């Protein structure tokens, strides 16, 4: 294909690395809320260097290092991005960790700090705590001073969550779960979070795990709907009445577009926490561009821990 050309307000970026996220799985299966025109490349977040500037672009120069979250198109040698949405990548950070940084941490900080109103001393239950957003939620919960309970599906994943700072871990069965298994899981959650329940539940998993988690929520707790790799659940709304709790949707992309100032403040906070060593992208696998499909398949299998990154040379 011909090289893309930047239009007004855009940057042409030579991609160095593109992180893999669950929306990549959904987009190529036509199950995501956006459907890119074909042909397209997956890859929702990238790190690279500026190769050309479109008309009217200020504050950027050829050769500058950046990260961006275009939504798709990242698994390619070059991509055009909105200059206003691009973020400078510090010189002390490499492209691989830069590509793996923004989407998971920006989603998690918006979820926990804005939608979940998490405070120091509160109890946070994180489902899928060994994935990209899950580990980010564990780290950000600890940075906020919360007690963090990490729920995962294997001992290896539990170790990853503990290494990220989780106070306690729960190893649950792989779904699907029948009613008896859901009751058992709910009892596990309740025992782990304590008699007062979880003030905030971060759920990027969905499926049969959602209702057992909701049953372990605190009075006036906040249940955060982040994703559905295990399926879209149906929650019994009588539970929300009995606990006077909130079920909160988390759509970071729309939030960033609607409130860029608040998003920019979050980005500043995240880079500060990164410099302090309180958060750090967990890249557990890298793939060359020719094996990008394998990287997406590995994530789809729900066996990956942390982030997977496709590198482009």
Q: Tokens for 48?
A: 């690279």
Report the DSSP beta bridge partners of residue 47. 17, 67
Beta strands in the chain (DSSP E): 10-20, 45-53, 65-68, 78-82, 87-88, 123-126, 147-152, 168-171, 198-203, 217-225, 246-249, 283-288, 307-311
The set of residues, in sequence order, having a beta carbon less than 8 Å from that of 75 and lying 6+ positions away, is 15, 18, 41, 42, 43, 289, 292, 310, 312
Q: How many angstroms separate the CA atoms of 12 and 82, rounded? A: 9
Find the length of the chain.
Answer: 313
The pTM (predicted TM-score) of the whole model is 0.94
Q: Tokens for 47?
A: 């790190």
Q: How many angstroms separate the CA atoms of 205 and 193, rounded? A: 18
- In order of 132, 134, 277, 281, the CA distances from 149 in angstroms are 16, 11, 21, 20
| pLDDT for 1 | 84
Q: What is the largest CA-CA distance in the chain?
A: 62
What domains are there in the chain, each with its CATH number?
10-101+281-311 (3.90.180.10), 107-253 (3.40.50.720)
Q: How many angstroms separate the CA atoms of 241 and 299, rounded? A: 36
Region at 7 (left for phi over 0; alpha for psi -120 to 50; beta for the rest): beta
Q: How many angstroms separate the CA atoms of 100 and 312, rounded? A: 14
Q: How many angstroms separate the CA atoms of 185 and 78, rounded? A: 46
| pLDDT for 295 | 96
| pLDDT for 73 | 95
Contact 59, 93 (CB under 8 A): no
Q: How many angstroms separate the CA atoms of 216 and 208, rounded? A: 14
Contact 43, 71 (CB under 8 A): no
- Count how many Cα atoms sit within 13 Å of the Cα of residue 56 in the half-sphere of its side chain: 7
pLDDT tens per residue, the chain (313 residues)?
Answer: 899 999 999 999 999 999 999 999 999 988 888 889 989 999 999 999 999 999 999 999 999 999 999 999 999 999 999 999 999 999 999 999 999 999 999 999 999 999 999 999 999 999 999 999 999 999 999 999 999 999 999 999 999 999 999 999 999 988 799 999 999 999 999 999 999 999 999 999 999 999 999 999 999 999 999 999 899 999 999 999 999 999 999 999 999 999 999 999 999 999 999 999 999 999 999 999 999 999 999 999 888 899 999 999 8
CB atoms within 10 A of CB 182: 19
């Amino acid at each position: 294909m011909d090289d893309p050309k930047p239009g007004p307000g855009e940057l042409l970026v030579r991609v160095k690395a593109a992180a893999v996220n669950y929306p990549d799985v959904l987009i190529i299966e036509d199950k995501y809320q956006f459907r890119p025109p074909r042909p397209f490349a997956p890859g929702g977040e990238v790190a690279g260097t500026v190769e050309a500037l479109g008309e009217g672009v200020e504050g950027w120069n050829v050769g500058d290092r950046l990260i961006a979250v275009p939504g798709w198109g990242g698994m390619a040698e070059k991509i055009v991005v909105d200059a206003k949405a691009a973020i400078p990548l510090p010189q002390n950070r490499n492209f691989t960790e830069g590509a793996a940084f923004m989407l998971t941490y920006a989603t998690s900080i918006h979820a926990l700090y804005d939608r979940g109103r998490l405070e120091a001393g509160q109890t946070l239950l994180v489902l899928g705590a060994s994935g990209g957003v899950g580990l980010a939620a564990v780290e950000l919960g600890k940075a906020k001073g919360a007690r963090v309970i990490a729920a995962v599906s294997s001992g290896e994943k539990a170790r990853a969550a503990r290494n990220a700072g989780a106070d306690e871990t729960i190893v649950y069965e792989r779904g699907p779960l029948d009613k008896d298994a859901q009751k058992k899981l709910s009892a596990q959650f309740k025992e782990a979070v304590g008699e007062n329940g979880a003030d905030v539940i971060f759920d990027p998993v969905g499926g049969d795990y959602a209702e057992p988690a909701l049953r372990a929520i605190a009075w006036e707790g906040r249940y955060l709907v982040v994703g559905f790799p295990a399926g879209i659940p149906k929650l019994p709304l009588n539970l929300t009445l009995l606990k006077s709790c909130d079920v909160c949707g988390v759509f970071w992309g729309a939030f960033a577009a609607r409130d860029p100032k608040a998003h920019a403040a979050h980005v500043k906070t995240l880079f500060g926490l990164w410099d302090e060593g309180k958060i750090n992208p967990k890249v557990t696998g890298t793939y060359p561009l020719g094996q990008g499909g394998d990287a997406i398949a590995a994530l789809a299998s729900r066996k990956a821990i942390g982030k997977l990154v496709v590198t482009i040379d």
